[in-house]
Structure 1
Amino acid sequence: MTDPSLRADCANCFALCCVAPAFSASADFAINKPAGKPCHNLQPDFRCGIHQNLRQRGFPGCTVYDCFGAGQKVSQLTFGGQDWRKDPRTAKQMFAVFPVMRDLHELLSYLTDALNLPRAHPLHDELRRALDETERLTKYNPEALLDLDVPAHRRQVNVLLTRASELARAEIRRKKDHRGADLIGASLKGADLRGANLRGAYLIGADLRDADLRHADVIGADLRNADLTGADLTDALYLIQSQLDAARGSSTTKLPHDFTRPAHW
């Protein structure tokens, strides 16, 4: 995924991810924070006061969060650059719109990925129409965005994403189907998972060292603390940067060319 509009641009966002969501004290967040209340680490200039030490300070969940560019879209387009601190009247509505926009931008990211799958060419016209329609929805005003039935739209898009995935994986024989499977802590070292269906699979803490994940569909797979050392994820379908950021890996992990190797690996 190379579209810059689908990457977070924190410099043009009013730190919506640090305010709109609720945090629950856990292994991912060191504090409880209600929705709509700024994190106590948020500075007046909308920067995080502990950005360089989030993991060490107990906030690894912040390091793996991805808004898919929704933050700057809401801040600069939907609300025309209105700062919720300077104009508190916009705050409640802005915080409510943000998760709606994030869901739409996530769909844009996956649709963009699907359009880059050569074997999904028979679906490219439908995928393009779905992409254009989703982009159109992102340009609604705040009231219209809050009225959207995003789950219904997601279901329609997911049908296309699934079909594109099936076309992309069609020539791989003996594909494993682990859709939604509980693979928490599973020993999958060296596993042949080429073309596997891992959509929504729970791979938390799984041992995926040296596993072959080429052309595996990993949309929604939970890779928190999974060990990807030596694993091959080139051509993995619907992989997103935050999945890598949540996992463990090394210099031997093979990644698609447009992904960044996490600094903590």
Structure 2
Amino acid sequence: MTNRTAIITGGLAGIGLATARLLHSAGHTVAIGARRGDDTSLQDMARDKIGADVFVAPLDVRQRGSVSAFCTSVKNQFGTPQILVNAAGVTRHQTVSDHDLDAWDDVIETNLTGTFLMIHACLPDMMASGWGRIVNIASTAATSAVADHPAYCASKSGVLGLSRAVALEGAPHGVTCTTVSPTWVETEMLRESATTMATQNGTTQADEIAALARANPQNRLVQPDEVAAIVAFLCSDAAPGLTMEDIQINAGAHW
């Protein structure tokens, strides 16, 4: 397999970390950007779980300057990134009526604007080189919403539309763009949401996680490695015709 430079945002946890590990094992140079990318303990964790040569640096996808600095650093050290996986994401467990406006901005800017800024920084070089793979982590929430995650649902719906536009722009230049939309995945984000629900319902985090698993027709939670496997395939030479698609990993559950 050709060694390519791959950027993974939000690559220090959950789906991002699993994807970084799999792409590294496939022979790619992996560059992880995350808000906590300057945390030396997390850098050590990434090197332990992925490989000693993994690149980890601070990246706030909400900020144009941070995106530019990170992408420039990766390009100068490893060459033009030809794989981009946008896995950075946040949510807030709030209703529409009572939503904190700063929290709304944080979710939209991280999940949607951040995805755009990363693509904006990487797409021109991909098109110029005649090869590129962009995979955006969306969610089944983009098409099947619930009332208490409105910002998350809205942001992920936006990611679907953005991805289709990118796919059309990149198609004549060998660049694909797809979305992968999981249902609940057993990640730190899920555990944080379960803690919030437990506080509201007078239960425990374990009770809420178990309830989410029972609500799934497969009676389980999707695992990060399952999502990473699909992402890795979409980033490979085996998937040149897969673009403008949303692949749902729902285990039978719509949310």
Give the TM-score range, shorter chain: under 0.3
Query: TM-score with structure 2 length normalisation?
Result: 0.27
- TM-score by length of structure 1 reads 0.26
Larger Rg, first or second structure (1 or 2): 1
The structure with the greater share of residues assigned to strand is 2
Structure number having the greater helix percentage: 2
